[in-house]
Amino acid sequence: MKTVSILGSTGSIGSSALRVIDSFPDKFKVKALSCSSNIKSLEEQIRKYSPEFASLGSVDSDVFDSIKKKYPHTVFFSGDSALSDIASEGADILLTSVVGYSGVIPTLKAIPKTKRIALANKETLVAAGDIVMNEAAKHKTEIIPVDSEHSAIFSLLSEVNKNDLKRVIITASGGSLRDKTAEELFSITPEEALRHPTWKMGSKITIDSATLMNKGFEVIEAHHLFNLPYDKIDVVIHPESVIHSMIETNDGSVFAHMGIADMALPIMNAFSHPAKLNNPFKFLDFSKLKSLSFREYDESRFPALKFCYEAGKRGGNIPCALNAANEIAVDAFLKKKIRFTDISMIVKKISDEADFIKSPEIEELIETDRLSRVNAEKYIRGLC
């Protein structure tokens, strides 16, 4: 029986993880749960799973005291350090499924205390990939990706000699706006951008999917996870989202990882690796597949992916600056302060102007994150 702690248990990834745990009650047990603001859902989870620990974001002290009294057998944390407090308690598996830079410090806190990090927070490796991977190696903690694309690559790479690898090919649905013209993108509303055709995700990641920033983050993440140079990581648009990623070997053979669009499957694989559990969810039905199509991404309409390649190749603290600027820009777009097309422009400007640090310590990344957010907010005020 493996214990599982979930950072972000009330979100879409966390909910899928609990579906996995429900399907294998003899293999996995909830140790800790956390949420940012969805207290009602967290309480429902606490009643069902009776975790040892739970955390909430910043809540009113009276509300926090009331919840603690309701569930005396669970130790509660709240406030800015709550996620790190949960992570520091250790577990066999920690699923990091919170959004944005908020996953970095808890992941680092968890590494010495946890056997396996099931990583669904790509910003952790975007902002602090070198530090996180070095710490994981130091403590012999496994980092198993949960993103469907990286889960696919992880599985495919286990079947080939890395010396035979020519490249990995990350597939992208293209997001909600893949067929829009440049003129149409200029006037896109948040409501339009949030209509993802395939995946059900939170607002921030759905906008990142629409700009292709999310795919750029996945390129940087793949660089760190699989120790690959950027010229061996390609991206192709695949609207059907059936092939989650591919690898090509030196002899020209291409191996594709296919499956239904259900995050429970990569979560299940991350939890059970190297074992393959019997899938209790849906299977891919080839008789219902009408076609599989591919296309190149349009750099002129969706420049964010190119900017991520550039930031990743520069390295150091630049991807951290890029991520921070993106979080501020996406939030501003969702609040209708800026245009959709402004997001990539802001990210490019802030990351280009960041003071470069080749091998930053975590304190320097924290300062890069803070300063990049301040600069992005200043620039946005000038646009409003």
Query: Of the candidates 329, 316, 319, 324, which has an alpha carbon nearest to the alpha carbon of residue 380?
Result: 329
Cβ contact 363:330 at 8 Å: no
- What's the pLDDT score for residue 384? 63
* Mean pLDDT, residues 184-205: 83
pLDDT (tens digit per residue) in 108-158:
999 999 999 999 999 999 999 999 999 999 999 999 999 999 999 999 999
Q: Are strands 243-249 and 254-258 parallel, antiparallel or unpaired?
A: antiparallel
Give residue 241's region: left, alpha or beta (phi > 0; psi -120 to 50).
Answer: left
The pLDDT of residue 37 is 80
- Nearest alpha carbon to residue 54 among 85, 100, 22: 85
What count of other Cβ atoms lies within 10 Å of the Cβ of residue 199? 16
CA dist 265 to 23, 44, 191, 200, 235, Å? 12, 24, 29, 15, 22
pLDDT at 196 over 80: no
Measured over the CA atoms of residue 191, residue 197, residue 212 and residue 111, the dihedral's sign is: positive
Asked if pLDDT for residue 323 goes beyond 70, the answer is yes
Q: Which CATH code of 2.40.30.10, 3.40.50.300, 3.30.565.10, 3.40.50.720 fits the domain covering 2-145?
A: 3.40.50.720
CB 224 within 8 A of CB 133: yes
Alpha-carbon distance 224 to 75, whole Å? 35
Average pLDDT, the chain: 93
Edge-to-edge order in the sheet of strand 243-249? 233-237, 165-172, 243-249, 254-258
Own/partner long-range contacts of 184-188 (Cβ < 8 Å, ≥24 apart): 185/301, 185/340, 185/341, 186/339, 186/340, 186/341, 187/339, 188/339, 188/340
Read off the tokens for 244.
């989650």
Where along the chain do its domains lie? 2-145
| Whether residue 197 has pLDDT greater than 90 | no
The sheet carrying 2-7 orders its strands as: 75-78, 53-56, 28-34, 2-7, 91-96, 114-119, 142-145
Dump pLDDT digits (tens) for 245-281: 999 999 999 999 999 889 999 999 999 999 999 999 9
Cis check: omega of the bond before 274, within 30 degrees of 0: yes
Tokens of 283: 């299977």
| 202 pLDDT above the threshold of 80 | no
DSSP annotation of 355 reads P
Residue 350 has pLDDT above 80, yes or no: yes
Instruction: State pLDDT tens for residues 214-246.
Output: 999 999 999 999 999 999 999 999 998 899 999
Q: pLDDT for 31-64, tens place per residue?
A: 999 988 888 999 999 999 999 999 988 777 888 8
